[in-house]
Amino acid sequence: MKAQGLPWLSVVALLVSLPYSSLLNMETFILDYSSRNLSAVPPDLPPSVQCLDVSQNRIWTLKKHDFHRTPRLHFLNLSWNILEDIHPDTFISTPLLATLDLSHNSLKNLSHQQYLVKAQNLQYLDLSSNLFAVMALGYEFSKLMKLKWLGLSARIIQNNNFVNVSDLHLQTLFIQAQDLTVYENGSLTGAKSDKIVILMPSNVFDLPIIVDALTSFKQVELRGLYNPEDFLGILVTRKVRIQTVNLHLSSVWSTWKVITALTNRALMSTICQFSMSNLTLYDMYGDYFVIQGYSLDSFSIRQASVTVFIFNQLSLYDFIINIPARNLTFAQSPIVHMTCPKVVSMIQMLDLSDCVLTENVFKDPLGECNTLSNLEILVLKRNNLRQLMPLTSRVQLMSSLRHVDFSQNSLTYEETQGRCNWPSKISHLDLSFNEFEQTVFKCLPTALVNLNLQNNHISAIPANISGLDSLKVLDLTANRLLDLPDCLGYPKLQKLVLRGNFLHAPSTGSLKTCSHLTVVDMSMNPYICTCPLREFTNLIDEKGTLGGSNSWKYQRITVAHWPDGYRCSYPEYWRKAMLKNFSMLEITCNAGLLAVTILVPAIILIIAVGILCQQLDLPWYISMIWKWTRAKHHARSSQQRQEDLQGVHFHAFISYSQRNANWVIGQLLPKLEGEDSSTQNGLRVCHHERDFIPGRPILDNILHCIEQSRCCVFVLSSHFVQSDWCHYELYFASHQWITRGMDNIILILLEPLPTYLIPSKYYQLKAMMARRTYLEWPQDTAKQRLFWANLRAALQADLPDCGEREWE
């Protein structure tokens, strides 16, 4: 059957033969011309190529100059072609060639491979699955002094076939013997190799080959054993001395009887490591027991299956668990249970991974298992374990247990499960890839040194942890932590791994409780690059050491994978940027500094504006402008009809105290009437000393003038409120306002007039001053111009021409 891609052997050889610098660039060092239907080696190979794959083509010959432009070639895969001939000088230009795969071709003469003379740096050579008739290695093989791995095949294997490689000390000799037709006993004894791997022919030559292999090689791997005999028993019967210490059987089709017999024979032989893989049992008949009094260093069964449906499973489990081996593995097999050894077992390492075991493993009807007291390492990963507490009961009597691996299950722990009972010596515990939450910290051994809890559902670490005083390594990779935990529950912690959690802006203050911490790994977290993260990044120096402030004076923590593993995830403009390049202005993140920066200039500006306003008396000007604007607006909006002004001869009637006459006569009248009485723009003002009709009663004159005036102007002062006549004039003006419906009263405050100085009979004046806007006479000459403008604006109106005034 045709292989797909690089054969596994070629890949291994490739990785080992290449320089370390080439291994650093795994994506580009293989030039792949496989499966291109090529009939010859491509002529345009680049001189820099180190690895070339031209497998699975139709190349039938290699010429002298096929590789003359590739002096750096280390690895060449020519498998699965139709090669028949190779020129002797083909590899003269490739002095660095270390790996050559010529398997699955049509080469015919194994004793005449002259091209090998020019490839003396070869370490890996595969010539298996060709058309060689006899496995007679030519003299050119003796030149390959660096050869470590050699793959061969032929139909005939004879004595002295390996004489030309007898001086070579191979690490592995691979023989594909499936097409074997002739085998002379003792033929393999001439080869020297640490290990021999034989793909068995499954015919009469099986036993002779096995005998030679077991008597000549320390490590033996037999592949493709179909219904084998108890060959170890046969060797014992023949009193053949076995040299093998490591025996591996792969791709085996057999019965339980033969497997148990082989195991017992291995126990009684020189074999120290006995292993089987890809084992298929088609007959489980019989109950067999392990012979006692012997032991193995290791016994292993991987990928075992049974084709019968009904058999005694307990017999299988009892046989396996009672094998006296220091290291016992029964993995990648669909077993649902494992029993407890009958007597105290010597097993120190027990691997039951990749099965379907439950937490009832080792459970005995008579109680918990107490015969695995020498067990130090227990591996139960990738099973069907669900509850942690029952598991602790299964192992509580394994008093020597130090290393436990329960990873890649579906384990949980809740306090309702009960109290956990661990052996006292457990120092390494792997609970990764389970479904634990933070309650798992209440079910841990007290002597732990290394705890692996990666890929669980832990969102926080409880504050009341106790009993982990010896813990030095804690791995919480790929959990749900939002911040860094403290070390109060495990004060001797030296390494903390928090990769792939939900750390956004870690608060490093909690690490100050970790006085022994030397390494922390917080890479691959979704860091949010905003102000809260600045404190974290500022504490890490260029060398990736955490501790950049006085409070960290005596503590330096190495930040693993810094800086490449630490990148921003938000906001978008910082996304994927490394944290070492992240920075923000101090003013952006310091609220106090930002407030000072904004408020201080604002306060200074306000004070400056206030002082300026005070110096320039701006509030008064603004007030006067506002009054002038309102007066103008009022004048326009309340424009009276001409007929409403019939009989009105004056713009204003002036009411004042006689003690303020000097100001009225000297200031008010000239400004309103104009400096020149003939001025066209002057206002008509009713002044009692000029416009009262002699001989008439004073009250009649007052009433008559008020009626003939559009507005009444009251000059308020402390003297005004002491005058009775002023009081009468104010009263009549108020009455006129009510009867005529005209807003005709204007107040001028000549001097400050506190309300407590106003007599109670002037209640109308108090009310007016409380609700009406009045004009204040400014002492500053510069402001008086605006005062007069406001007053004139309030009095301005188009009055009808006045004739001779008559009394009605």
Q: Give pLDDT tens digits for 360-390.
A: 999 888 889 999 999 999 999 999 999 999 9
CATH code for the domain in which residue 541 is found: 3.80.10.10
**What pLDDT score does 618 carry?**
64
Q: Which pair of structure tokens corresponds to residue 727?
A: 């009081």
Q: Determine, yes or no, domain membership for 121.
A: no
**What pLDDT score does 634 carry?**
58
Tokens 């009510």, located at residue: 738
**What pLDDT score does 391 carry?**
95
CATH code for the domain in which residue 694 is found: 3.40.50.10140
Per-residue burial over 485-510, b = 16 or more CB atoms within 10 Å of its CB, e = otherwise: bbbebbbebbbbbbbbbebbbbebee
Q: Determine, yes or no, domain membership for 270.
A: no
Nearest alpha carbon to residue 498 among 468, 533, 460, 531: 460
DSSP one-letter code for 722:
G
591 and 681 share a domain?
no
676 and 612 share a domain?
no
Q: Would you call 615 exposed, middle or buried from its count of C-beta atoms within 10 A (0-12, 13-18, 19+)?
A: exposed
Q: Determine, yes or no, domain membership for 106.
A: no
Question: How many CB atoms are located within 10 Å of the residue 650 CB?
Answer: 24
Contact 211, 235 (CB under 8 A): yes
Nearest alpha carbon to residue 180 among 158, 213, 157, 150: 157
Q: Determine, yes or no, domain membership for 696.
A: yes
d(CA 58, CA 734): 125
Find the Cα–Cα–Cα–Cα dihedral 205, 207, 208, 212, rounded to 10°.
130
What does each C-alpha distance from 749 to 256, 632, 754 come to in angstroms?
Answer: 126, 20, 11
Q: Would you call 807 exposed, middle or buried from its count of C-beta atoms within 10 A (0-12, 13-18, 19+)?
A: exposed
Q: Determine, yes or no, domain membership for 570.
A: yes
714 and 695 share a domain?
yes
Its sign, for the CA torsion 604, 609, 615, 619, is negative
d(CA 413, CA 398): 21
759 and 678 share a domain?
yes
Give the pairing type, strands 296-306 and 349-351. unpaired
DSSP one-letter code for 668:
I
**What pLDDT score does 641 carry?**
54
Residues ≥6 apart with Cβ < 8 Å to 808: none
707 and 759 share a domain?
yes
**What pLDDT score does 548 carry?**
55
Q: Which pair of structure tokens corresponds to residue 189?
A: 């004894």
In terms of residue numbers, what domain contains 531? Answer: 482-584
Q: Would you call 706 exposed, middle or buried from its count of C-beta atoms within 10 A (0-12, 13-18, 19+)?
A: buried
Could you read off the pLDDT of 269-305 as tens digits, one per residue? 999 999 999 999 999 998 899 998 999 999 999 999 9
686 and 774 share a domain?
yes
678 and 762 share a domain?
yes
Q: Determine, yes or no, domain membership for 143.
A: no
**What pLDDT score does 623 carry?**
65
652 and 791 share a domain?
yes
550 and 598 share a domain?
no
Low-confidence ranges of the chain (pLDDT < 70): 1-29, 548-554, 614-621, 623-647, 675-681, 736-743, 801-808
736 and 667 share a domain?
yes
pTM given for the model: 0.72
**What pLDDT score does 620 carry?**
60
Q: Determine, yes or no, domain membership for 21.
A: no
Give the rounded distance of the alpha carbon of 79 from its chain centre: 44
d(CA 483, CA 508): 9
**What pLDDT score does 743 carry?**
63
Amino acid residing at 697: P
**DSSP-assigned states of every residue in 728-795:** HHHHHHHHHHHHH----EEEEESS---GGGS-GGGHHHHHHHHHS--EEPPSSHHHHHHHHHHHHHHH
**How many structural domains is the chain composed of?**
3
d(CA 290, CA 54): 51
753 and 773 share a domain?
yes
655 and 782 share a domain?
yes
Q: Determine, yes or no, domain membership for 265.
A: no
Contact 353, 323 (CB under 8 A): no
